Amino acid sequence: MTLPYYEDPGPGHGALPARAWFRSDAPCIDLTGTWRFHLSDTVAGAPDGCWAPDFDDSGWLDLPVPSSWPMHGHGRPAYTNVVYPFPVEPPHVPTDNPTGDHRRRFTVPANWANVPAVLRFDGVDSCARVWLNGHELGVTRGSRLPAEFDVTGVLRPGAENVLAVRVHQWSSGSYLEDQDMWWLPGIFREVTLLARPAGGVPDLFVHAGYDHRIGTGTLRVDTTADATLTVPDLGLVDAAVNTEHVLGGVRPWTPETPDLYDAVVATATERVRVRIGFRTVAIVDGVLTANGQRIQFRGVNRHEFHPDLGRVVPPETVRAELELMKRHNVNAIRTSHYPPHPLLLDLCDEMGFWVVDECDLETHGFQWFDWRGNPCDDPAWRDALVDRMRRMVERDKNHPCVVMWSLGNEAGVGTNHGAMAQYARERDPDRPLHYEGDRDCRWTDVYSLMYPPVDEVARIGRREEAPTSDPGLDARRRAMPLILCEYAHAMGNGPGGLADYQRVFEQYERCQGGFVWEWLDHGIRQRTSDGREFFAYGGDFGEELHDGNFVVDGLVFPDRTPSPGLTEFAKVVEPVRIEAGPDGSGTLRVTNRYDHRELDHLRFTWVLEEEGHAVADGELPVPQLPPGGHADLDLPQLPRTSGETWLTVRAVLVGDWPWAQAGHVVAWGQLPVRPAPLPSDAWPSGSRPRHGTGGGPGTDRGTVGGGGGGGGVMLGPAVFDPARGTLVELFGLPVDGPRLDVWRAVTDNDCGSRRGVRFAEQWRELGLHRMHHRLVALTYADDAVVVRTRVAAAQQQVGLLVTYRWTADADAVGLQVAVAPDGDWPPVPLPRLGLRMAVPADLDTVDWYGPGPGEAYPDSRCAARVGRWSATVDELQTPYVYPQENGNRVDARWLRLTDRSGTGLLVTGHPVVDFTARRWTSEQLDAARHTTDLVPGDRIHLNLDLGQTGLGSGSCGPEVAERYRLPVAPARFAVTVRPAG
């Protein structure tokens, strides 16, 4: 039985040979806009003959093109990561195959008569059959790849034309497009009619190299056209194509210096504009270099997604997100896991990014079957795979930003990869090949891994990795640079541990950086019935199989506001390091970590802050430093201070850049100048415990057992509930607590993955989320109330013995807490260790002195700098799409919670305290599934912590490293509380 066209495993048919995407002065007609649309549930049910020009589509709906039709109320989005949402029987697809018929009428000027023309589709998901004026042009698959059809002779210049496009959600191509993302059918990129004048430029291939040893550029533009080449800024006028020009005085292209030269390739009938960037990418002695310099990827994986539009990302959004990346020191993008919209590459050329351009190929669902049946190893699919590679390479070959081609993602290994690689190598020998899925690196030039732990990266850096099966391949791989095509899983709160990876990238020449997974949360904007906005994820659209919130794992939220992970990334990868000089030298070290440039675009400013107040500032002269160079500089003349003092030095842009204005902070460092003096005020003491109802303990020593007492026990400004040993009132404010807290609303990274440790599960097994507090004793001495409790979960023998020692004077209350593990605890870290207390809801302004302004955790705190900060309780929350622990501030010296009148509490750490403050409890946060589940209560829940366990990357990568885990171990900490103001 012959297969229907949408199940044919071969490439589509009818399209023209692939070629470069370029701008020309030949006329073109943009066919985006409002089209007519009709959705059918099955292919057979689609309206017959609707491609005929006179078909009556008046009963159809309007739909914008480009669009992902489920985002416009037709059908529903569906999310799966690895699994196919249909039975795996390639190349067959379900009978229930949403099929969208699209029609567009347009007129073509009469002067197009006798001009050859093509119709270009930049992206259709997943299979399109195309008719113009009732004439079938062909079929295209390869969703994120262009297809051009020759319409010469079919087009009616001077008249109305009718374009009909039938799009099937499922096709043989769906087996090749099993990327971890929403399934979203539609014509999601532009449709354009292009005049292709006879004698024009059918295609061109720019080869622009740079010889760093002699500082010359080489330029050859290959084309079959009878054309000339003009590059005004290089003095080339009507120069020959297909000839190498050696050019002196060329400024090389790098992401740090994205110098482009405008060029025109002209024939008698067409002028094509290209922008040329001179650079030579080569692997030299096992190191990936550009223009002779080792390069480092400070990269992100970028999917194309928009929370309202699906796969359609408006150009202004793309530009804005690239600007955001630049401002956060991102220098590289892996276009996971398909070629991006062509505009992205133009902007990357212009703004300066390395791009790993990835083929539209992923067959991950076959991993379930040990890759049996994988199309990548089946000759029947070979042409389709090579076709995909060809269409990417041809389209994108002229972009200096494209540093490597990638054969795809998570598609196992098969001989078809070899055929794809062979195509790319023969066509474009100047770019290395990437593919992560083959541990033997048979077809590639770089060794690529995802999510290895830091120590494995270091081992590879030392070339001490375990050998692969074949000695020849092993030797080859051992000589390759290492790239982490994915690392640091930014799902929810995280990733932790970025700085540890960065250290290894900087230490080992072979380790050339990586790409954080991933740039963007793919949440879909929705509203509750009462109009509150939230972002939906897998399962929210009733999918039969789905992978929940695994689709929201980016450094920016779905609306592209940065999450704290991005701020941390920007700090960790900053291209200038500012730190204390060698021990005892009293100097400041500035290191140029750019790959290619000096620091002449930056100036260095300093400010001296005493307890968060600026006391002096100035400019710091920094000599020019070559890439990799450093200078140890004397500190500026600083005034004497007496309080805790920090010197902050910032590297800021001198002038405006397309992505940031003068003054933008590229890098910063903070040096301690003077530590905090020892506290001058004595620990509060002197108040005597007494019963609030009279009588009471007086000055006698005594014990109040659980439940005993009656009436409040008072100590200075603190009133206790003697039944529980917690406070009910403090400085006249109603409070509840504090009591020991070990729980946090688990993060995605706490939940782990199938492969790794699942802390959240272990914590729940231990019952850390449902601890009981048994009052062992409440004793009072001359000047103290001592509360002892045992904290443990139901059906657990292990527990924590806690001693709270309270003292007070008229103005302050002191609390010393000692914690000792009781019983035989398993080797599991605690989520947190600290105190939780509820305070009135109107104490909702928080000021603090310590690291800030953003949230921080033990393995993600580089971006926090010591200063005085202020935020409302609402502003302290990070609205992770899937609610979880967030908003922690570390090492506060003090924090003040006040209401509008300035009344409230001042908490001082001894010496420091971590805190979170929110309008819901950790349990409510833990139970919430969407941000709109979080409803403010009538109190603020304040955590004052000794610490928390770090974040790690456990939702897909390594769990939090040992040294960032909070052990179950004896611990002590102390705070004092005073009235604010």
| Positions marked active-site | 410, 486
Cβ closer to ligand GAL: 394 or 486? 486
Tokens, residue 864: 């926090």
Nearest to 542 by CA among 84, 76, 929, 95: 76
Site for ligand GAL, rule CB under 6 A: 81, 180, 337, 409-410, 450, 486, 517, 550, 553, 956
Beta-carbon contacts of residue 767 (< 8 Å; ≥ 6 apart): 792, 793, 794, 795, 796
Q: What span, in angstroms and rounded, lies between the C-alpha atoms of 979 and 981?
A: 7
Position of minimal CB gap to ligand GAL: 180
Let me know: does 259 contact 239? Beta carbons within 8 Å. no
Whole-angstrom distance, CA of residue 400 vs CA of residue 744: 47
The answer to whether 907 and 893 are in contact (CB under 8 A) is: no
State the nearest-atom distance from the C-beta of 794 to ligand GAL, in Å: 36
Q: How far is the CB of 517 from ligand GAL (least distance, A)?
A: 5
Nearer to ligand GAL, 227 or 566 (CB): 566
Q: φ, ψ for residue 279 (rounded to 5)?
A: -160, 150
| CA angle 608–610–615, rounded 5-degree value | 50
Single-letter amino acid code for the residue at 649: V
Smallest separation (angstroms) from ligand GAL to the CB of 358: 10
- The single residue listed with the structure tokens 């013995």 is 801
Quick one: 81 or 331, whose CB is closer to ligand GAL? Answer: 81
When the beta carbons of 175 and 594 are compared against ligand GAL, the nearer one is 175
Cβ proximity to ligand GAL: between 79 and 973 the closer is 79
Q: How far is the CB of 490 from ligand GAL (least distance, A)?
A: 9
Supply the minimum distance, in Å, between the C-beta of residue 370 and ligand GAL. Answer: 17
Cis amide bond preceding 689, omega within 30 = no
Strands 271-276 and 23-24 come out as antiparallel
Amino acid residing at 291: N
CB of 182 to ligand GAL, least distance (A): 13
d(CA 674, CA 642): 8
Residue with tokens 């990129």: 189
Min dist. Cβ of residue 407 to ligand GAL (A): 13
Q: Cα separations (Å) of 934 from 159, 397, 750, 923, 929?
A: 58, 49, 20, 11, 9
Residue with tokens 């709270």: 804
Residue with Cβ nearer ligand GAL (5 or 435): 435
Compute the least distance from the CB of residue 173 to ligand GAL, in Å. 18
Separation of alpha carbons 657 and 659, rounded Å: 5
CB atoms within 10 A of CB 851: 24
Shortest distance in whole angstroms from residue 428 CB to ligand GAL: 24
CA angle (120 as vertex; 116, 125 as ends), nearest 5: 155
- The pairing of strands 771-780 and 127-132 is unpaired
Contact in structure between 745 and 925 (CB atoms under 8 Å): yes
Nearer to ligand GAL, 162 or 441 (CB): 441
Minimum gap (Å) between residue 498 Cβ and ligand GAL: 16
Nearest Cα to 830, choosing from 694, 949, 661, 708? 949
Query: Which residue's CB is nearer to ligand GAL, number 38 or number 489?
Result: 489
Minimum CB distance to ligand GAL smaller for 147 or for 951 = 951
For residue 422, the surrounding DSSP H or E stretch is: helix 415-427
CB of 630 to ligand GAL, least distance (A): 36
Torsion of CA 50, 51, 56, 58, to 10 degrees: 90
Q: Reduced to 3 states, what is the DSSP secondary structure of residue 616?
A: strand
Q: What is the dihedral of CA 26, 32, 35, 37, to 10 degrees?
A: 120
CB 393 within 8 A of CB 427: yes
Supply 445's token pair. Answer: 């030039």
**Least spacing, CB of residue 954 vs ligand GAL, in Å:** 12
> What is the β-pairing status of strands 718-721 and 281-284?
unpaired
Q: Which is nearer to ligand GAL, 300 or 651 (CB)?
A: 300
CA distance 467 to 623: 45
CB closer to ligand GAL, 301 vs 398:
301
What b/e string do you get for 70-97 counting C-beta neighbours within 10 Å, with b at 16 or more? bbbebbebbbbbbebbbeeebbebeeeb
Contact (CB, 8 A) for 265 and 204? yes
Q: Of 187, 93, 95, 180, nearest to 363 (Cα)?
A: 180
Nearer to ligand GAL, 450 or 771 (CB): 450
Q: Pairing relation of β-strands 297-301 and 511-517?
A: parallel
| 505: its two tokens | 């990238």
CB-count exposure of residue 695 (10 Å: 0-12, 13-18, 19+): exposed
Asked if 146 and 395 touch (Cβ cutoff 8 Å), the reply is yes
CB of 892 to ligand GAL, least distance (A): 33
> What Rg value do the Cα atoms of the chain yield, rounded?
32
